[in-house]
Amino acid sequence: MTTETTPALSATIPAPATPYQEDIARYWNNEARPVNLRLGDVDGLYHHHYGIGAVDHAALGDPEHREYEKKLIAELHRLESAQAELLLDHLGAITSDDTLVDAGCGRGGSMVMAHRRFGCRVQGVTLSETQAEFGNGRARDLRIQDHVRSHVCNMLDTPFEKGSVAASWNNESTMYVDLHDLFAEHSRILEVGGRYVTITGCWNPRYGQPSKWVSQINAHFECNIHSRREYLRAMADNRLVPQTIIDLTPDTLPYWELRATSSLVTGIEEAFIESYRDGSFQYVLIAADRV
């Protein structure tokens, strides 16, 4: 699929499907947190997701050094990009002729990384006009606008043709939608044998119900975190068969512990750290085959 085959997407801005989606569009249109913009400024890849991997304490150096905060920001950004690389690792064998879909694409950092890795087309959808304009501006700056395109569009109702997409993903964007509706749409656009990947936070059914920390995260982001059980059930109901499930909780804790020491804290750090530690919340990657 080329951008030329989807002119309606970029030409018109569809109305959000529900009052909730209007709120979410407004939320992301107004978002400009330094923790996201300052990290993105490091190398021009702007993420709205969290990080994984061990902290490189040697690279950080002495906390008293005047350059320490700058190094800390670069380190947090490195861990966020490592998270996106892990997601891309699970998309399978993508060729430059393929089209990928980023559902809930934010400012588009993962899309640029996917294009750089595979040379393919990447179509992103977000409810936020500001984010889509930002992502398209970055693509123009990088001269990859013929391959990487953000659209203002509901991920539950996309204009992509049935079976036209080699792989699709949600990076920390599943908590804004009903999972059955979401996986029905991915299943529709994916080719048979295509791959779906999500990295997301989910509440742990072994804990029982969403903990107070999970409720705090929901209130902070106006989202609705699902349980791990819901993911597997909704995938099974929509011809998405899990191939790989990774519990990334131990891998994301160092990011949060480092972030909690930075000047860019937003106040949500304690809820993530405590819920990951008490087991009520998990950070997971699920890669599934469209069968």
Binding site for ligand GPP (CB under 6 A): 33, 35-36, 48-49, 172, 175, 201, 217, 221, 223, 225, 266, 268
Q: Which does 268 bind (CB under 5 to 8 A by kind): ligand GPP, Mg ion, ligand SAM, none?
A: ligand GPP
CA dist 87 and 85 (Å) reads 5
Helices H / strands E in the chain, number of each: 12, 7
**Residue 132, token pair as written in the block:** 């889509």
Give the whole-angstrom CA distance, residue 168 versus residue 56: 31
Q: Minimum Å distance from CB 171 to ligand GPP?
A: 9
CB of 171 to ligand SAM, least distance (A): 4
Q: Of 74, 79, 156, 248, which lies in the binding site for ligand SAM, with binding defined by CB under 6 A?
A: 156
265, 214 in Cβ contact below 8 A? no
Q: Which helix (H) or strand (E) holds 113?
A: helix 109-118
Token duo for residue 146: 């013929």
> Smaller CB distance to ligand GPP: residue 27 or 289?
27
Q: Quote the CA–CA distance of 257 and 287 in Å, as a whole number.
A: 27
Q: Running DSSP on this structure, what letter comes out for residue 4?
A: G
Q: Taking Cα atoms as reference points, which of 152, 136, 185 lies closest to residue 15?
A: 152
Please choose, out of 47-55, 58-66, 139-147, 255-263, the segment that lies near ligand SAM by the rule CB under 6 A.
47-55
Q: How far apart are CA 170 and CA 201, in angstroms?
A: 11
Region near Mg ion per CB under 5 A, out of 28-36, 57-65, 246-254, 258-266: 28-36
Task: Choose which of 36, 198, 204, 238 interacts with Mg ion (CB under 5 A).
Answer: 36
Q: Given the complex with ligand SAM, which of 206 and 220 has the nearer CB atom?
A: 220
Asked if 248 touches ligand SAM (CB under 6 A), the answer is: no
Cβ 70 to ligand GPP shortest distance, Å: 18
Distance CA 243, CA 80 (A): 24
Give the footprint of ligand SAM on this chain (CB under 6 A): 21, 24, 28, 47-49, 104-106, 109-110, 125-128, 131, 154-156, 171-173, 176-177
Give the footprint of Mg ion on this chain (CB under 5 A): 36
